[in-house]
Amino acid sequence: MNEVSCLSLQKTVIGERMPVPMVANKTFRFAPPPDHKAKHLFVFLPGGGATPESMISVAFKFQARFPSAALVIPNSFEAPDDEAGHERSATPMLALDEEARMERIHAMLPRVEDVVRREQTNNGIGAESTVLIGFSQGGTLALEAVKQLPGLAGAVVAYSARFARLPRVGTSIRARVHLVHGEHDAIVSRVHSERAARVLAALHVPVTLDIVEDLGHALSHHAVSLGSLRLLQGIYEGRRATLH
């Protein structure tokens, strides 16, 4: 996999962004500043058909709130470009029926797991301090990853996303889940996040849901800030529970 390693985003000054090489289909890594040891690993999963560059501005916002987090924006997890794979990937996953969505998820999750496990090893960070952050299809991948791969990550922040298939009764999900959805999302209805929040709560999974007013299927500054705030609150609540 081609890679691009970048210096810490914290080395920029306000109003000035560090130059970032804009090369499609690369993996971007952003390390904490030298005076911060990496305590968390954030893996950003772009929407379907999007390049890693589409999540760089989101990574900037998260690192502002979590300066000790190591950030990774991997390459696409779509199937290889053979004839059948190209036809499958040409259809957005969220437009497929449930069975086809699950088939696509099952093909992509092993690559997601490989990337996350490798980055955990490289950064010396455990699953409990790993967060999957995804938009649209990337959010669906993040949700399905913690549902199907228990112990992969400690939290998910999913924007404008849905489960490919809602968790069934008895499903064990050992991660906090933070859902953020646009009120007027016409691509993935907010109803999917509302249903997911109810199902997760019934499974005793720590979950938050924020519906952003006047927002469609998009990432706004307010939406991203809400997701990072809920993540921060969840981390502190987890620490308090451990102390008690």
Rounded Cα–Cα distance for residues 200 and 40 (Å): 24
What sign does the CA torsion over 8, 176, 127, 3 have? negative
On whether the 3-243 domain is CATH 3.90.1150.10, my answer is no
Task: Let me know: does 175 contact 151? Beta carbons within 8 Å.
Answer: no
The pLDDT of residue 238 = 65
Nearest Cα neighbor of 159 from 98, 232, 209, 96 is: 209
pLDDT confidence bin for 25, thresholds 50/70/90:
low
- Residue spans of the domains in the chain: they are 3-243
Rounded Cα–Cα distance for residues 155 and 231 (Å): 8
Got the DSSP string for the chain?
Answer: --EEEE--GGGSPTT-PPP----TT-EEEEPPPTTS---EEEEEEPPTT--GGGGHHHHHHHHHH-TTEEEEEPPP-PPPSSHHHHHHHHS-GGGS-HHHHHHHHHHHHHHHHHHHHHHHHHHT--GGGEEEEEETHHHHHHHHHHHHSTTS-SEEEEES---SSPPPTT----SEEEEEEETT-SSS-HHHHHHHHHHHHHTT--EEEEEETT--SS--HHHHHHHHHHHHHHHHHHHHHHH-
Which of the two residues, 161 and 81, has the higher pLDDT score?
161
Angle subtended by helix axes 56-65 and 221-243, to nearest 10: 40
What does the pLDDT look like over 183-234, one tens digit per residue?
A: 999 999 999 999 999 999 999 999 999 999 999 999 999 999 999 999 999 9
Enumerate the active-site residues.
136, 185, 217
What does the pLDDT look like over 132-188, one tens digit per residue?
A: 999 999 999 999 999 999 999 999 999 999 999 999 999 999 999 999 999 999 999
Average pLDDT over residues 5-19: 37
